[in-house]
Structures are given as structure tokens and as C-alpha cells.
Amino acid sequence: MQGRDDRSLGELFAELAQESATLVRHEVALAKAEISEKASRAGKHVGILAAGGAVAYAGLLAILAGVIALLNAIMPLWVAAVLVGIVAAVVGYLLVRRGLDALKREDFAPRQTMQTLKEDGQWAKDQTR
């Protein structure tokens, strides 16, 4: 048999308020950590996207110059440059879209924190019944 709790209703509510405040502080800390982790992953995606873009751009410039020089043998230089420029712009657009789509798939919502907040709310309701 359990011992009787001789605390008053006021003391119990004060303890509940104190523990609820502590719980909220812990939940905020969890949310910060979760959001920080997700932002870090997104930063890595952006960094990889930028580095890949810079390297590809340097290589692409050299290749494009060669293709323009090659096409100059069969057409005017300006036509070769415009044609190669259009093809390069389309390929660049497709690569940028791919990187943006990868970022859009990343879920930045603090799902774990939202779930525990729901559970905490239910616990608090149960405690006040």
C-alpha cells in the first residue's frame, strides 16, 4: 500500500507548474538541437551544390571553347557561340533544378519535438484530471 501524500492542492499545482516549465525548457532545447541538425545537413547540400557547380563551370568553359572552335570550321563564329551557349544554358538549368529538388525534399520541421510536445500535452491533461 502506498503512503499518503500530505501535500496541499496548491503545493501540487506549484510542483506541476515547475515541472511543466522544466519540461518546456527541455522541449525548446530539443527543438533547437533538431533544427540545428537539419540546417547543418541543408548547409552541406548547398556546399556540395556550390562546389560541384564551380568545378563543372570551369571544365565546361574549356569544353565550350573547344566546341565553339570546332564548329567555327563549318559555321560563322557567332552562330557556333550562340548554339553552344543555348545548349550549355539548358544543361545548367537542369543541374540547378536537380539541386533545388534535393533541397525541397529535406524536411526541416522538428518532427521529434512536435511529437513529444503532443505527448507532453496529453500527459499534462491526464495529470490535471
pLDDT-derived band at 4, boundaries 50, 70, 90 = low
Region of residue 67 (left: phi > 0; alpha: psi -120 to 50; beta: else): alpha
Average pLDDT on 9-33 reads 83
Residue 2 has pLDDT above 70, yes or no: no
Predicted local distance difference test score (pLDDT) of residue 82: 93
Average pLDDT on 64-76 reads 93
pLDDT tens, position by position, 94-105: 989 998 888 888
The grid coordinates of residue 59 equal 571544365
Prediction pTM value: 0.42
Query: 20, 124 in Cβ contact below 8 A?
Result: yes
Predicted local distance difference test score (pLDDT) of residue 80: 94
What is the distance between the alpha carbons of residues 99 and 66, in angstroms, rounded to a whole number? 27
Average pLDDT on 31-57 reads 86
Average pLDDT on 9-36 reads 83
